[in-house]
Amino acid sequence: MHISDFDYELPEELIAQQPLSERDASRMLVLDRSQRRWLDKNFASIPEYLRPHDVLVLNDTRVFPARLAGKRVPSGGAVELLLVREIEPYLWECLTRPARRLATGARVALGGNSNLYGEVMESRDNGLRLVRFESEEALDRIIDRVGCTPLPPYIKRAADSIEDRERYQTVYASKRGAIAAPTAGLHFTARLLQKVQDRGVRVARITLHVGYGTFEPVRVDDVKLHRVAPEWFSISEAAAQIINQSRNDGGRIVAVGTTTTRALESSVASDGTILSQSGLADLTMVPGYSFRAVDALLTNFHLPRSSLLLLVSAFAGRELTLNAYRQAVKQCYRFYSYGDCMLIL
């Protein structure tokens, strides 16, 4: 298949620029793969689609303020760094803007009067820069003080340092390390999760730190040649036991988000058992991939020609997925990170 086979038309006004005031007030398109049909519902109705012994698997990663503004030294030209992956203490892979002006050896001052400096050590083929930081205090502390929430570029406004820091997190976020939110989980409230559990549904938490691989553009025409960059994940022994017990009891594994799906599918044994492990998830899922762990998927609506749309198309089928997307456009669903969602059964 060609990447052009995963395109669709989206009016710009359907790209959500702000979150809803209530997390669970979003809409939900319920897609039934076996019946090849969909229903327009509200997200608050999700407990109705879950059964006793099912397990809802959440990604508890926490977004940190990974976007840093600064100036070149000594010219004073404005620059921006997005921290992507920590290689070792004070050494990070970064996306930089403007990239052309930050060649190897360039120095930047970041965060105003924070005494945080960086030097580009290496320019990599994938557009990333290897940057070594210098500071007089712990780097994480400075980042939390001067960094901005790394909202996606299709949100055409400045990040609100107070609202977005809270709203661009799931209510169960606890493990710091993501540069983008696992957006399918943004719709849940603590009260709604309790309703899910009151129906006899188990809840398991795993971690995958959302990184550059999740939103890196697909740069090949043949989708089978696409590779998603590795991302760190961890599934505890307790979480694996909950998930495996649900499957043994005849329940379904319901993944909240594509990142949760990637972690689960990276940890499934040949007999369908979920293994407890930590490491790098380097699995790429495109149409033709056979899912062994995930039985149902809750996910937001994704960009055309993206690796996330490829994953969803692998799970639900390309034609059915794109038809459902066209229905969502027709019904004026809100798209992308702060938008509505789709439950695929």
Beta bridge partners of 281: 231
- Convert 176-192 into a string of H (helix), E (strand) and C (coil): EEECCCCHHHHHCCHHH
Contact between 94 and 59 under an 8 Å Cβ cutoff? The reply is: no
Domains of the chain by start residue, with CATH: 3-63+165-344 (3.40.1780.10), 67-146 (2.40.10.240)
Model pLDDT, residue 150: 93
pTM above 0.85, yes or no: yes
Taking CA 48 as the corner, what is the angle to CA 43 and CA 52, rounded to the nearest 5 degrees?
A: 130
Does the pLDDT of residue 109 top 70, yes or no?
yes
Q: For 22-66, list the strands marked E by DSSP.
A: 27-32, 37-42, 55-59, 61-63
Tens digit of each residue's pLDDT (9 = 90 or more) over 272-300: 999 999 999 999 999 999 999 999 999 99
Does the pLDDT of residue 113 top 80, yes or no?
no
Residues 79-88, mean pLDDT to the nearest whole number? 93
pLDDT-above-70 percentage for the chain:
100
Q: How does 257-291 read in b/e, with b if 16+ C-beta sit within 10 Å?
A: bbbbbbbbbbbbeeeeebebeeeebebbbbbebeb
The number of angstroms, rounded, from the C-alpha of 186 to the middle of its chain's C-alpha atoms is 11
Contact between 108 and 176 under an 8 Å Cβ cutoff? The reply is: no
